[in-house]
Amino acid sequence: METIVISRIKQVLKGDQNAYGEIVELYKDKIFQLCFRMLGNRHEAEDVAQEAFIRAYINIHGFNQNKKFSSWIYRIATNLCIDRIRKKKPDYFLDAEVPGTEGLTMYSQIASETDLPEDKLVRLELQENVQREISKLPEKYRAVIVLKYIEELSLNEISEILDLPLGTVKTRMHRGRETLRQRLKNL
């Protein structure tokens, strides 16, 4: 995959915008997933994920082709998410999506006419709770947890993405896990 990406990047560097579309296609799900788990909201996740790709395009000249493109785009997206979390004010809208669900808004929480099957509802609830706990983590723990357990990256990659020493990544990982353990043990 990296060789395809390198050749596409070369085309992009020559000015071919369509080649960039192919790069976006390759990474969009991963980046969107990262943003969604970091932010807990689809609209914001889409917004930030798109911004990450646009920034990557604008700064593509600064990309070191000896490194992994995935790490680079993860890094841009993670930093944007962390910025967004820091700026974020807690606000709730009825039509905002419930964290951890797809297409489920607060309206459906008020009264639902068609009942979901019991097991599906339970699963949704569980996922929602887990996502809520992820969203409550301080962002520096959240980033390592999401990168490790949702994006399934190695500690070395995470240390590269976050530009942190491996030891720091481990410490954050341990603290993040302990916090989640405390909060999820009774689920």
Partner 1 sequence: MSCPEKYIAYMHDFLDEDISDESEQELREHLQTCPACEQHFKELKKAIAFVQSTAHIKAPDHFTAGIMANLPKENKKIEVNRWLKNHPFLSAASLFLLLMAGSLFTSWNQDEQFSFSKQPNLIVENDTVIVPEGEVVTGDIVVRNGKLQIEGEVQGDVTVINGEKYLASAGNVTGEISEVDELFEWIWYQIKTVTKKTFNINEDSEQSLQY
In the complex, which residues of this chain contact partner 1 (CB under 8 A)? 14-18, 20-21, 24-25, 28-29, 31-33, 36-37, 42, 46, 49-50, 53-54, 57-58, 100, 102, 126-127, 130-131, 134, 145, 149-150, 155, 170, 173-174, 177-178, 180-181, 183-185, 187
Of 111 and 165, the one with the shorter C-beta distance to partner 1 is 165
Please provide the size of the chain in residues. Answer: 187
Minimum CB distance to partner 1, residue 66 (Å): 25
Of 89 and 147, the one with the shorter C-beta distance to partner 1 is 147
Of 95 and 113, the one with the shorter C-beta distance to partner 1 is 95
Of 16 and 113, the one with the shorter C-beta distance to partner 1 is 16
Minimum CB distance to partner 1, residue 87 (Å): 21
Q: Which residues pair with 105 in a beta bridge?
A: 97
Minimum CB distance to partner 1, residue 121 (Å): 14
CA distance 132 to 114: 25
**Residue whose pair of structure tokens reads 């785009």 in the numeric block:** 73
Three-point CA angle 9, 12, 15, nearest 5°: 160
Minimum CB distance to partner 1, residue 133 (Å): 8
Of 41 and 84, the one with the shorter C-beta distance to partner 1 is 41
Take residue 178 and report the two structure tokens written for it.
């302990």
Of 53 and 74, the one with the shorter C-beta distance to partner 1 is 53
CA distance 114 to 90: 30
Minimum CB distance to partner 1, residue 109 (Å): 19
Minimum CB distance to partner 1, residue 159 (Å): 12
Please answer whether residues 128 and 159 qualify as being in contact, where contact means their C-beta atoms are separated by less than 8 angstroms.
no
With a CB cutoff of 8 Å and minimum separation 6, the contacts of 39 are 45, 48, 81, 84, 85, 88, 135
CA distance 157 to 126: 29
DSSP state of 146: I
